[in-house]
A and B are shown apart, each in its own frame.
Chain A
Amino acid sequence: MPRPDSFKPREVWGLATVLFLVFFNFPLLQVFNSEKTVFGLPLLWAYLLGGWIICIVLIRLFVKRLEGQEAAEPPVGEGDGAP
C-alpha cells in the first residue's frame, strides 16, 4: 500500500487559483494602485512582478511535490507508463 499522503493536488491547485485571482484583481490591486515608488520602482509594477515571481516559485514547489508523489506511487491511471 502506498503511504497515506495528505497532499491533495486538486485542492491545493484550486486554492492557489482562487488566491491568484484575488491577489491580481480588483479590489486588492487598488491597495497598490498608486504613483509611489519603492526602491525607485513604481509600486504597482513592482507588486505585479513580485507576485508573479512568487507564483513561479510556488508552481515549482507544487510540481516538485507532485513529481515526488508520482514517483512514490506508480501512476495507476497513467496511460503512457506501461511497460
Chain B
Amino acid sequence: MMSPSMLFLMVLLYGFVLFGVASYAVSGARTGRSRISHPAIYVLSLGIWHTSWTFYGNVGRMSTVGMDFMAIYLGVTLVVGSWWFVLRKMIRICRKQQIVSIADLISSRYGHSLPLGMLVAVFSLVVTLPYIALQLKAISDTFALLSTPLAPGADFSFAGFSDMALPAALILGGFAVLFGARHLDPLSRHEGLVAAVALGSLVKLIAMVAVGLFFVFGMFDGPADLFGRFLTELPRHRHLLLLGTEQIPFSSWFSMGLVSMLAFMCLPHMFHLQVVENTDPRHVTDAMWMFPLYMFAIQLFIVPIALGGLVLAGGQTPMAEYFALFIPLAAGKDFLALLVFIGGISGAAAMVMVSAVALANLMANHLAVPVLLKYGLEQEGFSRKLLVLKQMLILAVVLMGYAYYRLMGDKGSLVDTGLIAFVGAAQLAPALLGGLFWRRANRNGALTGLCLGVLVWFVTLMLPALVRAGWLEPGILEQGLFGCSMLKPAALLGLDNLQVLPHALFWSLGLNLCGYVVLSLFTQQQARELEQSEKFVDAADGVVTTGAQRRLTKAPTVVEFVELMAKFVGETKAYAAIADYLGDKEIDTRGSLGEREIADLKRFSELTLAGSVGAVPARIIIENYLSSRGSEMEDVFDIFGSVTISRKAGREQLGVLHEAARLVSGGLELNTILDNLLDLLQEQFRLDLCVVRVLDESSGLLQVISRRGVVLEHFGEAERTVDQETYVGEVFLNNSAMAVNDTDFLEKPLPAILIRREKILSFAHAPIDIEGQAVGVLSAFSRSAKGIFTNEFMELFENLAGQMGVALRNARQTAQLISAREREMELQLARSVQQSLLPEKTPDVSGISLAGACIPAREVGGDYFDYFPSGEAGMDLLIADVSGHDFGAALLMAEVRTFIRAKAEEDLPPARMLEVLNAFFYEDLSRSELFITLMYLRYAPEDRRLTFSGAGHNPPLLRRAADATCVPLASEGLILGVLEQVSFTEKHLQLEPGDLLLLYTDGIIEGQSPDGELFGEERLAALLHDLHDLEPEEIIQRILEQLRLFIGEASFKDDVSMVAMKLARS
C-alpha cells in the first residue's frame, strides 16, 4: 500500500525524466543531427502498440477467457513481415508527397479529396476515443488500486478527485502539447515525443520481464511448477489453455488476428509512428525482425502471470486484470508493484499523447484549416494561430477521451473497449491498402466502403456499448434496431452463431470491402485521381523496376534513344555516347531492339542523362518515355526539349515541370489542365492564390479563367483592362514577367492600395503567350512571406506560364478544328442539297444531245443551270449566276430555280420569263445587294428554232457546223435586280444539224493562269472548235480539264458551270 501523494510524486518524477529525455532529443534535432535516428529507437517507439492493455487487459483476458490475445501479436508479426513491400512503399509515397497523416494519405490517393480526408479525420477521432478512454481508465484504476489495495470498491479520493482519470488526462494533455506542439514542423516530426515513447517502451519491457520473473521464480519454482499447480489445483480453468473452446471459437481467434493486423496499420498513432516519425526508411528493414522480437519478449510472461495469479487467488477472477499489480503488492514487493504501475502508466501515457498529437494534426489539417480558409480567416500570423489551434486540439482530444470514459462508464473490460477501437480502425484498411496496390480503386469506392463500414461498426459495437452504459434501452439488443429482428446488433440478418468480434468484423469489413470494390469497378476515376493512383501504385518498391514491367507497344530503336538523349545533353554528346556504348556490338540502329538490349540501353541512357539532369529526373524521363511511346505523352519530351532549364535546376523544379508537362499533354480539358497546374504551383510553393487571366477577344479585357487558393475578390475574380495601370496589364503589354518581393514598395498607386488591403506580401506575374504573342497572364500571390520569388522560382514560374500557353494553344486549335469540322459537315450537307437541285437527266428531245456541269468554287455556289421540256416537244435551257458564292447566293439560286420551274408551266416566252423574274426578285435582290445574270433559251426541235433572251449574262457560244465559225449569241438585257421594271428583248436563231451551243458562266473565261493571264472567250471558242466532234458530256469534261491546266495549282476562284447542246448531224 502506498499513499496517493507518494504515487503521484513518483508519476511526476517519471514524467520529468521523460521530459528530460525528450528535450535532449529535441536539442539534437535543432542542431540538425537527429539523436533518435536509430533502428532500435524506431522499434522501441513502435512499442507504443503495447499499451496498458498489454499489462492488464491481456492478463485479465488470459485468466478469464483464454489465450486468444496471442493472435493480436501473431497477426502483427505477419504485418511486420510484409513491411518490405507495404510500409516502405507508404513511407516513400509520404516522403514524396509530403503526407503527414493517414487521412492525408487516403485523401491524396483519391485525388486529394477533401470530403474523404474529413471523413477519415472524423472517423479516426471517433474510433480512437474509446482507446484513449481505456488508457485513462487503466491509469485511474491502477492508481486507486495501488493506494487502496485489497479493498476493491473502497472509496478513493486524492486531492479532491474521486478518480484520477481527469488529472491524468490533463497532465497527459499538457505533456502532449509540450512534446508535440511546441512549434510548427512542416513534416510533423516530433523527435522529443518519439524519444519519450521509446523510453517508455523500454520501461514497459523491463517491468513486464521483472514481474514475470517474479511470478515464475519468486512465487513458484519455475514454469513447470507454475503450470503443474495450475493444472492440478484449478482443473475447471483448464480450458484457458485451449483454443476452439466455447469462449474462443476459432472464428474469434482468426478475427482477433485479422483485426489487430489492420488496426496496427490504421490507428492514427500507429500510422504516425510507423510512417511519419520514421527518420530513415532503412530502419524498417531492421525493425522487421526486431519489433516481433520485442513483442515476443513483452508478452512472454502474460500467460504465467495470469495463470499464476489465478492459482494464487484461488481461482477468483474479479481482480484478474490487475494480478501483475496486486500480487507483488500482497507479497510486500512494493517496488515491483510500483515498477509495473509505472510500466502501465508508460503504455497508457505514450498512447494517449501520440494519439492526441496525431489526431490534433489530423483535425487541424482536414477539418479546421479548410473551414477557416473557407470563411476567410484573417491571415495575419496564421502560423502562430495554427500552433495555438493544434495545442487546443490536443487538449480537446484528451478531454474527449475522458468524456467518453465518463459517459460510457467503466462497465466494459479493457479488451472489449479496445476491440471497439480496433474494429473501427480496421475500416480504414481497404481504402489504405487498396489505394497502394490497386490502380482502379477510386474515391467513390473509398467513400462508400468507409461509410458502410462505419455504419455497421456503429450498429454492431457502439450500440451495445451505449446500451451497456445506460444511454439506450436494452430493448434494441433484443428486438433489433427499429424493432426489426433482422437488425439485431449482435445478429445482423439473423447471423446469430458468431461471437461479437467475428460478427462485427465480418459484417463491417465485408460490406466495406464490397462497397469499395464494386464502386471502384463500376465508376470512373477523375483525372486527378488517375494521376495519383499511378503515383501510388507505381511507387517503385525496392528492386522491382516499373519500366521493365510495362509492356511497350512497339520496341524502341537505338535511334529513338539517341534522339531522346539529344534533347537533354545535345546531339554531339548523345551521338558520342552512343558510339562509345555500341562499340563493336552489332546492333541495327534503326531496327527494333530485343528485351535484353532495351534493358541495357535503358540503363545506359539513364546514366548518360543522370550526368546532366540528376539521377531521379533521368529515371523519370526514361521510364515515362518507354511507357508512353506511341501515345500523346511524347509531347512531354518535346516540351522538355524546348524549355531551357538551367543545369542547376533542382530535382523539385524538374519534378514540377515534368508534372506540368504531363498535365498539359494529358489530353484533359483546358480548364482541368489549368486547375491542376495551379494546384501544383500552389501546393509546391505554398502560395495563397494563383490566378490565370486570358484576353477575351470580344471585350478586350483580361478575364479570370482559373483560380486556386483563397478568395480575394479583386485579385482572384475581377478582370483587368489591358493598360499600364495595373501590373497584370503591364506584364501583358510588355510580354515579360515581373515579381514584387516586398509589397511595401510599389510604384502603381491603385494596385498598391488593394494589395496592402488584402495583406499580400509578395506577388509575381508572368505572361502566357502563344508563339510570342501574349494571350494571358499567370499570377501568384503570397500573404505569408516576402522575397519568395527568387530567380530560380521565376524561371520555373515562367516555364509554367509557357506550358499554360501550350495548353491554351492546344485547346484553341482543338476548338478550331472542331468548329471547322462542324462547319464542313454543314457545308457538305448544303452542297449535296444544292447538287440535287441541278437537273438529273436530260429531257427527251429529238435531234439533240445535251450535258451540263456545275462546279462550285466552295462547298456551295451561286451558279445554276437547268433544262426542262416546254411546249409541245420543245425544251427550255437556262444558265444563271448569282453574284457571290456563299450561302446567300445558294439560297437565292434555289429560290430562282423554284420560281422558274413553277412558271415554266405557263409557257411564257423567254423575254417575258425574264421580266417576271426580275419583277419578282427585284426587292429581295436589292435588299440583299445581290444580283443575277441569266440566259434563257428555248429550243423548238420541229424547226430547230432557238429563241433566247439574256439578262447581262455571258453570251453563249455557238459553233456553226457549216462554216466552222464560232459566234457569241449576244443579247443586251439588264442584269436582274437593278431596276424594278425592265423589258427584255428576244432574239431568234435558226440552228442547223451539227451546230454546237455552249452556255457558260464567267468562272471559265475569268480563270487565271499563275501569270495572271485570263482564260478568255477566244481560248474557249478555239477549244470548242477543236472539240466539236465529241459528245457534249465529253466536251464539258475536256473544257474543265483545260481550264484546270490553265490555272495551274490554284483552285477555282469562282463557280464554273456549263451546258453544252449539240444538234445531231442529219
Chain A residues near B (Cβ < 8 Å): 1, 9-10, 13, 16-17, 20-21, 24-26, 29-30, 33-35, 37, 39-42, 44-45, 48-49, 52-53, 55-57, 59-60, 62-63, 66-67, 69-70, 73, 75-80, 82-83
Contact = CB atoms under 8 A, between A and B. Distances in A.
B864 interface: no
Nearest to A25: B254
A39 B242 CA distance: 17
Contact of A33 (B71, B77, B244, B288): B244
A13 B288 CA distance: 13
B614 A59 contact: no
19 contacts: A17-B82, A20-B78, A30-B244, A35-B241, A40-B222, A42-B303, A45-B303, A55-B81, A57-B289, A63-B84, A66-B84, A69-B543, A77-B540, A77-B541, A77-B544, A77-B545, A79-B539, A80-B95, A83-B615
Contacts of B84: 9, 13, 62-63, 66
Contacts of A83: 614-615
Contact of B542 (A35, A52, A75): A75
Interface in B412-428: none
Interface in B62-96: 67, 70-71, 73-74, 77-78, 80-82, 84-85, 92, 95-96
Given A55-B81, A79-B616, A41 B227 contact: yes
Contacts, number: 140
Contact of A44 (B81, B242, B286): B242
A9 B546 CA distance: 16
Given A25-B250, A40-B228, A60-B288, 8 more contacts: A13-B81, A20-B78, A33-B243, A37-B231, A39-B224, A52-B77, A56-B293, A70-B542
A20 B81 CA distance: 11
Interface in B234-288: 238, 241-244, 250, 253-254, 257, 281, 285-286, 288
Contact of A76 (B73, B80, B619): B619
Contacts of A82: 614-616, 651
B600 interface: yes
A13 B83 CA distance: 11
Interface string B598-638: 00100000000000001110010000000000000000000
A53 B297 CA distance: 10
A60 B82 CA distance: 12
B263 to A, nearest CB: 18
Contact of A56 (B82, B296, B542): B296
B825 interface: no
B244 A26 contact: yes
B292 A56 contact: yes
B300 interface: yes
Contacts of B85: 9-10, 13
A78 B540 contact: yes
Contact of A63 (B228, B241, B254, B285): B285
Interface in B858-878: none
Contact of B285 (A24, A37, A67, A76): A67
Nearest to B280: A80
Contacts of B570: none
Interface string B537-556: 00111111110000000000
B475 interface: no
Contacts of A57: 289
B67 A66 contact: no
Contacts of A49: 296, 300
Contacts of B615: 82-83
A66 B285 contact: yes
B223 interface: yes
B80 A79 contact: no
Contacts of A9: 84-85, 542-543
B546 to A, nearest CB: 6
A76 B241 contact: no
A66 B289 CA distance: 13
B656 to A, nearest CB: 16
Given A1-B600, A63-B288, A79-B539, A44 B241 contact: yes
B250 A26 contact: yes
Contacts of A79: 92, 95-96, 539-540, 616
A64 B298 CA distance: 25
Nearest to A5: B543
A78 B223 CA distance: 48
B257 A24 contact: yes
Contacts of A21: 78
Contacts of A56: 77, 289, 292-293, 296
A45 B253 contact: no
Most buried by A among B224, B289, B615: B289
Contacts of B77: 52, 55-56, 59
Contacts of A59: 77, 80-81, 288-289, 292
A73 B827 CA distance: 64
A17 B600 CA distance: 34
Most buried by B among A30, A39, A44: A44
Most buried by B among A37, A63, A77: A77
A60 B511 CA distance: 37
B292 A29 contact: no
Nearest to A27: B250
Contact of B546 (A16, A33, A42, A77): A77
B92 A80 contact: yes
A48 B543 contact: no
Interface in B835-876: none
Contacts of B254: 25-26
A48 B74 contact: yes
Contacts of B542: 9, 66, 70, 75, 77-78
B941 to A, nearest CB: 90
A63 B81 CA distance: 9
Given A42-B241, A45-B303, A17 B78 contact: yes
Contact of B281 (A33, A45, A80): A80
A75 B540 CA distance: 9
A48 B243 CA distance: 11
A59 B542 CA distance: 17
B292 A52 contact: yes
A83 to B, nearest CB: 6
Contact of A45 (B95, B241, B244, B614): B241
A3 B615 CA distance: 22
B971 to A, nearest CB: 88
Contact of A35 (B71, B242, B293, B616): B242
Most buried by B among A13, A35, A76, A83: A76
B223 A41 contact: yes
B95 A52 contact: no
Contacts of A13: 81-82, 84-85
A29 to B, nearest CB: 6
A13 B651 CA distance: 34
Contacts of A40: 222-225, 227-228
Contacts of B242: 33-35, 44
Nearest to B615: A82
A21 B70 CA distance: 14
A1 B539 CA distance: 23
A34 B616 CA distance: 58
Nearest to B228: A40
A74 B900 CA distance: 87
Most buried by A among B253, B542, B544: B542
Contacts of A44: 67, 241-243
Contact of B67 (A35, A45, A62, A67): A45
Contacts of B70: 48
A48 B303 CA distance: 12
Nearest to A61: B289
Contacts of B238: 35
The 5 closest A-B pairs by CB, nearest first: A77-B540, A40-B224, A26-B250, A60-B289, A76-B545
B600 A42 contact: no
A39 B81 CA distance: 30
A20 to B, nearest CB: 6
